[in-house]
């Protein structure tokens, strides 16, 4: 995906980071994702994406979670299509 193209999921927040970009996605189940592409991310220097599953608390702060059935770490070297497939799975996680 190139900047400005249509996305299946609307980002909750967009940040510039390390000369690249970070998208934060937030879903009604309290989960979301941090999706980055920059010089320090896995795959960023070749135009790919790194995704971390995150969880929001009641105050709106978030942290990376490592105990979902999606992954126990960050996932790197993703195409945007693969990012959207994982976002779909995150959106379907059960709310705790």
In tens digits, what is the pLDDT along the chain, a chain of 96 residues?
554 456 788 888 899 999 999 999 999 999 999 999 999 999 999 999 999 999 999 999 999 999 999 999 999 999 999 999 999 999 999 987
Give the residue from 75, 58, 57 showing the smallest Cα distance to 66.
75
End-to-end CA distance of the chain: 32
Q: Which residue, chain included where needed, has tokens 């490592």?
A: 66
Distance (Å, whole) CA 25 – CA 54: 9
Mapped onto helix, strand or coil, the DSSP state of residue 59 is coil
């Amino acid at each position: 995906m190139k900047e400005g193209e249509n996305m299946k999921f609307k980002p909750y927040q967009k940040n510039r980071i390390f000369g690249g970009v970070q998208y934060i996605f937030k879903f009604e189940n309290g989960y979301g994702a941090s999706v980055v592409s920059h010089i320090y991310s896995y795959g960023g220097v070749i135009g790919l994406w790194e995704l971390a599953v995150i969880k929001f608390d009641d105050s709106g702060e978030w942290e990376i979670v490592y105990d979902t059935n999606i992954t126990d770490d960050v996932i790197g070297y993703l195409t945007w299509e693969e990012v959207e497939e994982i976002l779909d799975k995150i959106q379907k996680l059960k709310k705790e």
